[in-house]
Structure 1
Amino acid sequence: MCKVTELKQAVLARNDRGAQELREELAARGTVMVNLLSSPGSGKTALLEAELGLARLRGVPVAALTADLATENDATRLARSGAPVRQVLTDGLCHLESEMVRSHVDAWLPEGTHLLFVENVGNLVCPASYDLGESLRVVLASVTEGEDKPLKYPTAFGLAHLVVVTKYDIAEAVGFDEPAFLAAVAQVNPGVEVIRTSSRDGEGAGVLLERALAVHAGAAVHRPVMARTAVEHGHAHGHTHTHTHAAGHAAGHTHAAGHTH
């Protein structure tokens, strides 16, 4: 086995240990982490802002971490929801790791938080391999990205507990072939739920929040075939967990509603 492969496996193994420890600690606190993955421009910030706003209206204690290579733009947007928001600056790193999330959870996450949404770096390659300690992994794809996206990024879509189609209001205009997309998803992740959303017209509003709350209440998540196969071969990265809940180079900044720079 070459040194590069050994190093990668060691890095992932260390990350997975940290992720499992964080998952257990969050469970003890009654907190469910939701990891959002997508390519840049998919609309995950707009979707998350809307879901955070709905959670606040319903009295659900929520918080959000949002990751970016260089700017705090997304945190400023998300803070408009009124939810506690923390920016993670990765200094060029293309993904989050469990240790980076832990540092913010330990120092900042408000007590009593039921749901912690993590907006990962816009990238469907590197983030797919890193378990953050989440209990719900959500992969988003906009209707403008092409029906074969799940086949091009099988690890990201293959390990998802939930798939979200965004910008559905323009699906017809851009010629989105929904049956082809659903077939591609089913090929890499049979049985995973796919939901439609549109931040513009409100389609699917609150569905992500409801799915996260269901997990918080003890509902089991979808178990991807890819994750089960990885376990059988002894090289899983922590994506097969189900939980029941009672209710290093990241720079962080806390944002409040209405905060500007």
Structure 2
Amino acid sequence: MNGLLVIDKPGGITSHDVVNRLRRITGERSIGHLGTLDPMATGVLPLLLGKFTRLAQYFSATEKSYSGSIRFGYATDTYDADGEVSGERVCPSLTLEAIRSAASRFQGEMDQLPPPFSAKKIAGTPAYKLARAGKPVELKTAKICIRSFEITAFDGDEASFTMSVSAGGYVRSVAHELGQDLKCGAHLSNLRRTQAGVFTLDDAQRLEEMEPFSGNLAGLENYCIHPRSLLTDMPSVGGDVVSLGRLRNGAQANLPEFSQAPLVKVFAGQKELVGIARRVAGTLFQPVVVMG
């Protein structure tokens, strides 16, 4: 089965658990997700199936949007509610205005230190494995961009928020650092991804709704995003049998595409994605990804 399926990930399981359940349902071994969601988190999880996994490189820089809540009063070692308490518990005396003022510095480009319990690799080993083993975790900061971070409400010890952040940004780290700035400790208590690139909750399917399609791939394909709606920055173009045959075999071919875009999606008919081709000159294209 080839396609892109957006799942509304439930809480309490890992993104890899979602992959494994879809492997069982579809019988397709080649499945990969586009951006990990922590076990606690829910929401938009796009997955590439089959030969569409070859397109992963073109989705790597997508911005993501979230809604969630931050609890003040103590930090945790994972920076979220799944972790162990780290440091003292305090009774914070905060106001909505004070939190919004502190949150205002988390805007635009910045250097962010990933959480020690994260998938970032240190000499080839994921940081979370070192952290679980009690070994030192020496991570480097990474450049990220927070396009928006709004504290929408504050009740008791918990603040609600929305955020849009570049690929590679950790919402958990923002919650942790906000608690440090307010000198009371904080951690992420709830998180829901509402958008990943162009994909929103409106595109997402509940995992349990996919179960009845086990062994019925034709039915499941109806829930996949239409191939022509993927990678919207690339124009779509069709070709005749000869040109498509050349591209499938790795050779250059002329295509009726005049936008001057450097990359195009090549289709046979309306839905069969043949691959991605790079413009060499004029209407001459070289295949860079072929679906076979």
TM-score with structure 2 setting the length: 0.21
* Larger fraction in helix: 1
Larger relative contact order (CA 8 Å, sep ≥ 6) = 1
* Larger fraction in strand: 2
Rg larger in structure: 2
